[in-house]
Amino acid sequence: MIPFNVPPFVGTEIKYMNEVVDNRKICGDGPFTKKCNEWLEKRFNAKKVMLTTSGSSALDMAAFMCDLKQGDEVILPSFTFSSTANSFVLAGATLVFVDIRPDTMNIDETKIEAAITEHTKVIVPVHYAGVACEMDTIMDIAKRHKLMVVEDAAQAVMSTYKGKALGTIGDFGCYSFHETKNYSMGEGGAILINNEKYIERAEILREKGTNRSQFFRGQVAKYNWVDFGDSYLQSDLNAAYLWAQLEVADEINNDRLKTWNTYHDAFLTLVERGLIELPTIPDECVHNAHMFYIKCKDLDERTKFINKTKELDIGCVFHYIPLHSAPAGIKFGRFDGRDIYTTSESDRLVRLPMYYKLSNKDLKFIIDSITAYFS
């Protein structure tokens, strides 16, 4: 069986976790959390990065900092994970879904402006498969309409748009280090705060509504409950696990890109024969090979294809059921404009096995089997 995903593991995770245990410093914001935060800040040129318990909780923090009230609207794609939407529902907003572009499966930047009303407060671009949304256009719309931008960059660690790291372009960026992502700590994530004025609020929000972070830095004499908050600090044990992988981040990234490029080149003949379609990477985007997907002709063909890969013991899976058609999506939001691509394109998409250290032998078997199937 060739699995769809194998969580990354580089070998030094256990050594670092042992250090945490030996030092009896397993709570949040320990030495490894600090190392990870600083690494992420330097590498991605981010103002402030804080590890969190998940990508979802990073999104929660971002949504709370947008200071939304009942009736405020948030624009997002419907083709995304529930977490993108949940955070803004928790923060009290109404969801406004906009169609995606078929080439990248990202929000269609040309349809955002039509969805803006007097209640709109935030735009949430989701960088699907680690490929950037059209950020210059989105930031320009946000600026003209005075909206905040929260990047769901859960899949986009190491990806860039015009040289800028994804997650560092909007007001906030959210990364995930779930075991299905390129770098993992089991469950975990990070919030990137790109607008300095929110750093203090983020610390308070993450530390149960207290100014404990300022207290630890000696800025206040005692700490107090100053605003609403929650606990978004992960254990330093998880950070130690992640640190092992950040140390070799380029090796992991290059390995994944090699697999991605091998898939891509091998399937070009199927594309030329009109049998499948492949993802598009716009010129201004450098991606992180988070995902490799193909598109079949339609839902029927996809179902047949997935059944075949099951027979072959190759782990291929489809992705999101569009949120606007899900029970919670209907309850908390509406679709603006026409759903031209969201449903029809998501019906055709299949993800192929993609993980760090996918062997050449397995890769060849997958490519040969799929090529034979479509031929």
**Contacts within 8 Å (CB) and 24+ apart, 273-278:** 275/374, 275/375, 276/374, 277/348
Q: Determine, following the binding rule CB under 6 A, whether residue 211 of this chain makes contact with ligand PLP.
A: no
**Distance in Å, CB of 23 to ligand PLP, minimum:** 26
Closest CB to ligand PLP among residues 55, 322: 55
Burial zone of 70 (CB within 10 Å; 0-12 exposed, 13-18 middle, 19+ buried): exposed
Q: Determine, following the binding rule CB under 6 A, whether residue 189 of this chain makes contact with ligand PLP.
A: yes
**Distance in Å, CB of 57 to ligand PLP, minimum:** 7
Query: Exposure pattern of 333-345 as b/e (b: 16+ CB <10 Å)?
Result: bebbeebebbbeb
**Distance in Å, CB of 374 to ligand PLP, minimum:** 28
Which residues have CB under 8 Å from 208's CB, separation 6+?
Answer: 225, 229, 230, 231
AA identity, residue 40: L
Closest CB to ligand PLP among residues 79, 335: 79
Phi, psi of 156 (to 5 degrees): -115, 20
Binders of ligand PLP among 82-111, rule CB under 6 A? 83-84
Rounded-to-integer distance, Cα 174 and Cα 237, Å: 21
- The one among 32, 81, 232, 243 contacting ligand PLP by CB under 6 A: 81
In this chain, which residue has its C-beta nearest to ligand PLP? 55
Length of the chain counted residue by residue: 375
- The one among 33, 80, 159, 309 contacting ligand PLP by CB under 6 A: 80
The region that residue 14 occupies, defined by phi over 0 for left and psi between -120 and 50 for alpha, beta otherwise, is alpha
- The one among 35, 101, 178, 206 contacting ligand PLP by CB under 6 A: 178
Binding mask 236-255 for ligand PLP (x = CB under 6 A): --------------------
Q: Determine, following the binding rule CB under 6 A, whether residue 167 of this chain makes contact with ligand PLP.
A: no
Counting runs of H as helices and runs of E as strands, what totals does the chain give? 14, 13
Binding mask 107-146 for ligand PLP (x = CB under 6 A): -------------------x--------------------
**Distance in Å, CB of 47 to ligand PLP, minimum:** 22
Q: Determine, following the binding rule CB under 6 A, whether residue 154 of this chain makes contact with ligand PLP.
A: yes
Which residues have CB under 8 Å from 104's CB, separation 6+?
Answer: 128, 129, 131, 133, 279, 280, 281, 282
Binders of ligand PLP among 43-72, rule CB under 6 A? 54-56
Contact residues for ligand PLP, defined by CB under 6 A: 54-56, 80-81, 83-84, 126, 152, 154-155, 176, 178, 189
